[in-house]
Structure 1
Amino acid sequence: MQALALPLHLLAWLGRQGTRAVAISALLGLFLPQLSALFRPYVGEAIFVLLVLAFLRVDPVAVLAHMRRPRLIFLAFVWMQVAVPVAAALLVTAFGPASLQPDLGLAVFLVTAGPAIMSAPAFIALIGLDSALSLALIVAGMLLTPLTAPLIGGLILGDTLPIDALALGIRLALLLAASAGSAWVIRRLAGTPRVAAAREHIDGLNVLILFVFAVAVMDGVAAHFAETPLLTLGVGALTFAVALAQMGLTMLVFARTRRDQAFVLAHACGNRNMGLLVAALGGTLPDLAWLYFGLGQLPIYLLPWLLKPVATRLAADHRPRDGDHIAAPGSS
């Protein structure tokens, strides 16, 4: 056991660095093309492990507190995973299938049809808002994505959807069931108290896997920049613009909701779990779609820092009204 003391200590330390370490990982991927090519074949496996770790960290009590008042969760889900992707499908149709490259249409599908990223509660807790609400949104999205994503894929991509819509739904359902089941088995074998006590170690392992994932999805980005710098910069700027547009529209749609909660919903809508859909598609994408997927990780990891002053002001300005229930910011 003494031989494991130092590695476990380092793993816990890495877990305490949390989202800062993850953000650095995303940037390192741009400068480690050799590692990117090495890790790319394991994107699917990395996503599976990330899902297992995320389910292992789920606090059922915090989720149930929001599920008992499901109206906001339901409306947010309908907006995020029905209204937004359907609007995107209509825009794609308006441009005409012949004028839109299939891989660009696939990028539109990835960035609108998926649920919120699994690390959303960690980002939300970091900026002091309601991470339990973020977690409840993820659970609802993960449960229903196998039903909605194939329909959205058919609307946006039509015959160019890489796999059959039914097969996509089945793959998503199996991926989620396998990851949730694995987490349940680990929790049963180790015991809930031991899993709770290992929280920092789980976070450290999460950071390591996120490093592998972030580096892997950056495969080819550096080469793209060397060959077509303007296109690469344009796609990078587009990923930020799409994320901010989804966030801004969500804030407007939920303007009558408490502003701090509206920000949580906006963060979820603007930061989609594209990796989940990539895994369901077999871990491969056309060249341009992969470029968008890789660069799309940058706003996911950088926007929480850029927008933290706004979120902090929302948290400070919020004054509870009679009947309001506020979950603890760190309850994730």
Structure 2
Amino acid sequence: MFQSRLAPMSPALAALSRALAFMGRYGTIGFAASIFIGLALPGLAATMRPILPISIFAFVTLTFARADLAGVRKALAQPGRLGLSWLWITAAMPLMVLLGLALVGRSSVEPGLLLGLALVAASPPLMGFAAYTALLGMDNSVPVALLVLTMVVTPLVSPTLASVVAGAVVPIDPVLISLRLSWMLGGAFLGAFVLRRLLGPARIAALKHEFDGIFVILYLVFAIAAMDGVIGAAVAAPGKVALYLAVATASCVVGLAAAMAVLRPLGKPEAFVLGLGTGMRNTGLLIVAMGAACPPDTFLFFSLLQFPIYCAPLAVAPLARLVRRPA
């Protein structure tokens, strides 16, 4: 699969390519299954938790290596539309979280959950945002352009947003988070550049299903690592787990619904796509940047947040078909 563009594949690589392509073609099912497979392997979770930074780095690298630059240029040709989309993606979730905290009372939210919500508010869209859009059969040029823009400013914007939402609950210096994010994202951009030079954009595009299959595997690895402690917490504090899961699911659903309602003038398909990016956030990026300073309850919320995210492509597929229909 990763041989020279001119060299034929060996039988082993051809078999691997077919297996990855098969997984990629059934990516929506694969994503949903991954989270439950991860939950079913609690013995591996603690062992694989250190792999979280590696898997996130791989997500970022492969997403930008696969970027359709022509599509990005197309999106950049409409700066007003793209600027509005970026403003919504960046500001909508923090405002919704702040509104929710004002309604329930910030003091009534325990610190671990409060920090988790702050990370949701401060995070850029999920790296799988563009991949999910493509899997659902929709144009992902705007999502890719938004990912580029949001990732560039993430080290500058996210720590500040987290501090605004959570205040003193943030257990790590925002400057340190910014530095860690800068190193991770800078390395991923460099890795993506090298991969594009080695394979070439045409070869990467031709291997679409194979790369989708790699994403399914990465999501499985990520799911196993992210499930560390979930089973134990469900047994010890089922009420807390149920509450965290409900809040996590609500953040995804409200983000999608708000975008589809407010951004409807942009057209139903674009509002739907932006809704996916609004509701599904890359909290793992900030969790990794925090490292050992991340409180256990915040990591639990992050783990439970993966359930609606992983099930989203399968759950919203009927809605995606509906919004693609001509008016």
Residue 151 (structure 2) pairs with residue 176 (structure 1): no
- Give 1:290's match in structure 2, choosing from 291, 299, 313: 299
> 1:42, CA displacement in angstroms?
1.4
1:28 aligns with 2:37: yes
- State the distance in 1 between where 2:249 and 2:17 align: 36
Spell out, residue by residue over 1:212-251, the C-alpha distance to the aligned partner (whole angstroms, 9 max, x if none): 1011101111111112222212221221111111221222
1:268 to 277, 282, 285: 277
- 8 Å CA contact retained: 1:82, 1:148: no
The question of 1:50 aligning with 2:46 is answered no
Contact 1:19–1:122, Cα closer than 8 Å, also in 2 = no
Assess, with a 3 A threshold, how the Cα gap between structure 1 residues 12 and 129 changes in structure 2: closer, same or farther.
Answer: closer
Match of 2:164 among 140, 155, 161: 155
> In structure 2, what is the equivalent of residue 6 of structure 1?
15
Report the equivalent of 2:237.
Answer: 228
What is the aligned-residue identity percentage? 35
**Does the CA contact (< 8 Å) of 1:153 and 1:161 recur in 2?**
yes
Q: Check 1:87–1:9 CA distance in 2 against 1; reply closer, same or farther (3 A cut).
A: closer
CA distance 1:132–1:100, shift in 2 (3 Å):
same
Normalised by the size of structure 1, how large is the TM-score?
Answer: 0.88
Using the TM superposition, give the Cα deviation of residue 92 of structure 1 relative to its aligned residue in structure 2, in angstroms.
4.1
| Conservation of the 8 A alpha-carbon contact between 1:117 and 1:271 | yes
* 1:38 alignment partner in structure 2: 47
Q: Aligned with 2:325: secondary structure?
A: helix
Taking the aligned partners of 1:85 and 1:232, their CA distance within structure 2 comes to: 23
Deviation at 1:288, TM superposition (A): 1.5
CA distance in structure 1 between the aligned counterparts of 2:96 and 2:314, rounded to whole angstroms: 29
Of residues 295, 300, 309, the one that matches 1:300 is 309
Q: Which runs of structure 2 are paired with 1:1-332 in the superposition (5 Å)?
A: 1-89=10-98, 92=101, 98-282=107-291, 285-318=294-327
SS at match of 1:219: coil
Aligned residues: 318
TM-score (norm 2): 0.89
User: What SS does structure 2 have at the residue aligned with 1:235?
Assistant: helix
Q: Deviations over 1:52-105 (max 9, x none)?
A: 111111111111101110222212222232243145346547766654432112
Gaps of 5+ in 2: 1-9
**RMSD over aligned Cα, in angstroms?**
2.2
Take 1:272 and 1:201, find their aligned partners in 2: how far apart are those partners? 25
Aligned CA distance change for structure 1 residues 41 and 201 (closer, same or farther; 3 Å): same
- In 2, distance between residues paired with 1:196 and 1:264? 21
Unpaired segments ≥5 residues, structure 1: 319-332
Equivalent residues of 1:86, 1:155 under 8 A apart? no
- Which letter maps to 1:240? T
Residues 239 and 94 of structure 1, relative CA distance in 2, 3 Å threshold = closer
The residue identity in structure 1 corresponding to 2:189 is A
Give the drift of 1:117.
1.1
Could you tell me whether the CA contact under 8 Å between 1:86 and 1:152 is conserved in 2? no
Secondary structure of the residue that 1:115 maps to in structure 2?
Answer: coil
